[in-house]
Every structure is written in C-alpha cells, then in structure tokens.
Amino acid sequence: MKILVLSDSHGNRRVVEKVLDKMHDSCDMVIHLGDGESDMDIVREKYPDLPIEQVAGNCDRSSMLPSTKVVEAGDVKIYLCHGHIQGVKGGLGHLRELAEMCGCTIAMFGHTHARLERYEEGFYFFNPGSVSMSHDGNPPSYGVVDISPAGILLNVVDISRN
C-alpha cells in the first residue's frame, strides 16, 4: 500500500493540487496531518474515489475533524495527529506513548514544519514537513509511505518550485 502524506498546507491549495495531480495514480490513500483542512476540498472534487484521512491542526479553527485518528493500512495501525496537543516540539516520547496505547507502530504528525523519518526499536515516527513553508532549511515537502510484506518505507519528497 502506498500512502501520500501531506501536512501544514496553510491555504496553499495550488501546491496541494500540484502534488495530487502528480501522485494520485500511484497512491492508495491520502493523509493530511492538519493546518489546511479546507485545502483537501480540491482533492475530494478532482479525485472522489481516493480515500482521504485528515486530522485537525492548531490553525484549523472551528474544525469538526478529530485531533487524532487511528487508521489501518493492511495490518499496520497508524496514529495520526497534528502534534501540537502531543507536544512534539518538546520531544516525541508522549506521542509514542499515545500511539502505542492505540496499538500503532507508526506515528505521523506535522506542526513543526520540519521533516522527520525515524525508526526506534520497532516504532516509526514520520513528519513529511510542510507542503507550503518549511522551517528546517529544506524545500517544502510531502511524504510517501510504502507498506508491504517486506516492511515499511518512509520517504520525504521535495516539492520542485516549477
């Protein structure tokens, strides 16, 4: 299963559409990790059969979306959150604890606008960075997660300026 992971689009629908136009044929699911709830409207319109999972971010004011969600990709459970409630800017221990309590082996989050791919003792942390404005000195980015019988592969992909 291939999952496209977006976060922190902050109203930049143009870049969300650009990424989806490139990736929609090769992904089985799209995840948005918050701060851009309405940016996914274009995806729903253009690709109505593409499964989309979303959580609310701290800038998604008046959102009816949950702040956390557990999704299944095959036999892998994934914990989704924006990360502001879980305190990801101060460390990942609390996030891991919450995810493991839900039976998850992957925790995906945004909020920091900084990409992260980390594997620690059987557990995966993944932040695709921001599709609109990076805070880590790298270009804006999105994530691709491949889950197969051979294992789990996390990738961050730079968004070209073209």
Alpha-carbon gap, residue 145 to 32, rounded angstroms: 13
List of residues 6+ apart from 69 with CB closer than 8 A: 53, 54, 55, 79, 80, 81
Q: What is the pLDDT of residue 40?
A: 95
What range does the domain containing 29 cover? 2-144
Q: What is the pLDDT of residue 161?
A: 63
Structure tokens at 72: 């299944």
> For residue 26, how far is the Cα from the chain centroid?
16
Answer whether residue 62 is part of any domain.
Answer: yes
The 10s digit of each residue's pLDDT in 7-23 is 999 999 999 999 999 99
Answer whether residue 67 is part of any domain.
Answer: yes
Answer whether residue 158 is part of any domain.
Answer: no
Query: How far is residue 2 from each of residues 43, 56, 140, 152, measured CA to CA in Å?
Result: 17, 22, 20, 10
Which CATH number do you get for residue 33?
3.60.21.10
Q: What is the pLDDT of residue 160?
A: 80
Q: What is the pLDDT of residue 80?
A: 98
The 10s digit of each residue's pLDDT in 19-42 is 999 999 999 999 999 999 999 998
The 10s digit of each residue's pLDDT in 47-92 is 999 999 999 999 999 999 999 999 999 999 999 999 999 999 999 9
Answer whether residue 96 is part of any domain.
Answer: yes
Listed range (35-39, 64-68, 136-140, 158-162) with the worst mean pLDDT = 158-162
